[in-house]
Amino acid sequence: MLRRFSIDFAVFSACLDAGLMGVALFLAVRLRPALSGLAGIRDIPPPYAIPAWLYPLFVGVWIALLAANQVYDGRRNLRLWRELASLTLGSFLALTSLAGILFLSYRELSRALFLFFFTLGFALLMAWRLLLRLAYSRGILAGVQPRNILIVGAGVLGRDVEREVRAYHELGLRLVGFLDDDQTKRMNSSQILGTLNDAIDIVTRHNIDEVVIALPPRAYERVFRLVGELHNLPVHVWIIPDYFSLALHRMAMEEFAGIPMLDLRAPAINYQQRVVKRLFDLLVVLLSLPVTLPLMGLAALAIRLEGNGPVLFRQARVGENGKVFQMLKFRTMVPGAEQLRHQVEKLDENGNLVHKHPDDPRITRVGRILRRTSLDELPNLWNILKGEMSLVGPRPELPHLVDRYQPWQRKRFSVPQGLTGWWQVNGRSTRPMHLNTEDDLYYIQNYSLWLDILILFKTIGVVLRGKGAY
């Protein structure tokens, strides 16, 4: 629950650190001749140069060891002292590791340059973090997006959670109030917004992001019902142990200010995997822009020449953890096609809803070509850059279809939703929705970066064949 920064900020931090390390090494090389003549430093006349391969080596090893020491983990370094401690330990390990590598590979490097580089680099890494913290504390920057927290249970444990939430208010935590069935507590505290029966209404009305359940063991049965109700809403549910049987996707133990809690909606991929996945998404999307931008321009021109109507189509889709977002696609249907969906939706012999047909009368001529070549999906790249989607993952679903989901199918929302996925390369629209979900769950259970890369390569072949695309 308590996270100082997002995945995107972690990626930004790593990239900024890498850039500053490169600058530090460049300056150390340029300034090394000026250090000549100082006590104990060998004289080196200008100009001075080092092999180019030392730049990626120095930066790569240092970044890797900072990541290994969780410098980029937004849940760990909440306090300044802890962040600086992680930064110092990671930097010291990088210093000793690179010294060993140089001893075995390139002993000609000036030791004065090596130490000057690390001193300057560490100072730069420390400086931008201190300035950022200062800007947040002085209100110059807005900080993280506020998250509304509702505590279920106004007893001793609930009040302990309240004190810790207020202690971390600068990190964007905002306590909305409590829920409690005790009438005496409700009469004596305006913070108690209602009973447990009011949970759905209060979560919806106050835009709650995090629900912390802090009820005594005697309330096991009531907690079980409450968790079942909250699983239909896009909120994180946290519970103070011991309720291991209530997790919908996967359960993870985390510590909040010394209080152990269970995340009942923990993501199926861990934090480190998520950072790597986000970096991979950004890298691939940015490298593909020289190719995809001209294709998007041609597609937009074709749609505009065919007739009236917007070029882009915005549609509400259900993303990770059940959050709804606006997905962008090129318009491939006649205007008002959403209101005509009842004309094509039908149930198969097993009662499963089928909403895609190869002869859908709502599709335009240009739209049929765009769908056949999958060019209609290219605006999804904007959703990926915004962090609403990933390159690979379960396909974002329509809200009215999600309403028909069985509980086991909702597990597909435990990872970022994707532009392409395992079911797209194993049948696409030719397979019914319940089989698509089975493929999505296979992807979630077997996730790795290499699986993402495999799916992307298989997607190219599937798109070229055009099978199942309509």
Rounded Cα distance, 341 and 133, in Å: 51
Q: Tell me the whole-structure pTM to 2 decimals.
A: 0.65
3-class DSSP state for residue 252? strand
pLDDT string in tens for the chain (470-residue length): 555 566 788 888 999 999 999 999 999 888 877 777 666 676 676 777 788 899 999 999 999 999 988 888 877 777 777 788 889 989 999 999 999 998 888 888 888 888 889 999 999 999 999 998 888 777 676 655 678 899 998 888 888 888 888 877 666 778 999 999 888 888 888 899 999 989 999 999 999 988 998 887 777 778 888 888 888 788 888 887 655 445 555 566 666 666 667 666 666 677 788 888 999 999 999 999 999 999 999 999 999 888 778 899 898 999 888 889 999 999 888 877 666 666 666 665 555 555 566 667 778 888 888 988 889 999 999 999 998 999 999 989 888 888 888 777 887 888 899 999 888 887 655 555 555 777 888 888 788 888 899 899 888 888 887 665 55
DSSP-derived secondary structure for 213-236: E---GGGHHHHHHHHHHHTTSS-E
273 vs 223: CA distance, rounded Å: 32
Nearest-angstrom CA–CA distance, 246 and 272? 25
In the chain, where the domains are located = 7-137, 147-266, 271-465
CA distance 443 to 462: 18
Which run of H or of E encompasses 173?
strand 173-179
- Please give the class, per CATH, of domain 147-266: alpha beta
8-state DSSP, 434: H
